[in-house]
Amino acid sequence: MELQIQIKMNEKLYLRDPEHTELGKNIILHSIKMIYKLGFESFTFRKLALDIGTTEAGIYRYFENKHRLLVYIIAWYWSWLEYRVKIHTYNIYNPEERLRIVLKLLATTVEDDIQTSHVNESILHQIIIAESTKAFMTNHVTDDNKDQLFKPYKDLCKAIGDFILACNPNYKYPKSLANSIIEIAHIQNFFMHNLPALTDFADEKDESKILEFLEDLVFASIGKY
């Protein structure tokens, strides 16, 4: 038996559902590779079209512009991560252990443990690290938010915030701490690889050190250290 998961995406994210067609799936697959390789700024629909063997117009039928495509990809990642969090914390009833599992999922490179057809999750994780805040750090963030484009991120933060509260119901900043640990995990990873002097992990370049830092931070903050 081969299991496939399918993530239902917000319809505002696309013009035509890329999951429904071969070209659509190719757009997702190749855009992930290309954004990873070139960085989001240098990534263009023209280059993507050339790579896939289609035309710019073809891609514009699926996505309004490259920013929407980025938001789509990132939203997919957050949904997928929330799903992973659910699976990995299933049947675990100790709140601290659950939180530890979440931190590990956030801070370490994904192993392809869930089958998804057309997405390379490990490369996607690298995109998230470098590009994910660009999804909302725009001057149209309010409109995008009204279209619910950031719901997967919010849902994940909500879930993590609830885990934090389960550890310590009196902790005053569960939501803020939730998104903080996500963003810290990414920025530490980015700095470790690109501006290592800014971190305490320069020598080892080891993700498990980031995880230790995060655990230290979180459990000290919620008073369970």
Partner DNA sequence: TTGAGATAATAGTAATACTATCATAAAAAA
Partner DNA sequence: TTTTTTATGATAGTATTACTATTATCTCAA
What residue ranges bind a second copy (CB under 8 A)? Answer: 38-39, 41-42, 130-131, 133-134, 136-142, 145, 150, 153-154, 157, 172-177, 179-180, 183-184, 187-188, 190-191, 194-195, 197-201, 213, 216-217, 220-221, 223
Shortest distance, position 173 Cβ to a second copy, whole Å: 5
Coil, helix or strand for 147? coil
Shortest distance, position 146 Cβ to DNA, whole Å: 19
- Is residue 164 a contact partner of residue 174, using CB atoms and an 8 Å limit? yes
Q: Which residue has the tokens 């038996």?
A: 1
Please select the residue that binds DNA; options are 7, 29, 58, 175, rule is CB under 7 A.
58
61 near DNA, rule: CB under 7 A: yes
Rounded distance between C-alpha atoms, residue 132 and residue 150, angstroms: 11
Q: Which residue has the tokens 């690889």?
A: 193
Shortest distance, position 218 Cβ to a second copy, whole Å: 9
197 near DNA, rule: CB under 7 A: no
Q: What is the enclosing helix (H) or strand (E) of 100? A: helix 95-107
Shortest distance, position 2 Cβ to a second copy, whole Å: 36
Choose between 45 and 80: whose C-beta lies nearer to DNA.
45
Binding partner of 224, given a second copy, DNA, none, CB within 5-8 angstroms per partner class: none
Binding partner of 92, given a second copy, DNA, none, CB within 5-8 angstroms per partner class: none
Rounded distance between C-alpha atoms, residue 63 and residue 51, angstroms: 17
11 near DNA, rule: CB under 7 A: no
Q: What is the enclosing helix (H) or strand (E) of 101? A: helix 95-107
Rounded distance between C-alpha atoms, residue 172 and residue 218, angstroms: 13
Binding partner of 53, given DNA, a second copy, none, CB within 5-8 angstroms per partner class: DNA
Rounded distance between C-alpha atoms, residue 224 and residue 116, angstroms: 37
Sign, CA dihedral 56-58-59-60, equals positive
For residue 69, the tally of other CB atoms under 10 A from its CB is: 25
Please select the residue that binds DNA; options are 5, 20, 205, 224, rule is CB under 7 A.
20
- Which residues in this chain contact DNA in the complex, by CB under 7 A? 16, 20-24, 42, 44-47, 53-58, 60-61, 64-67
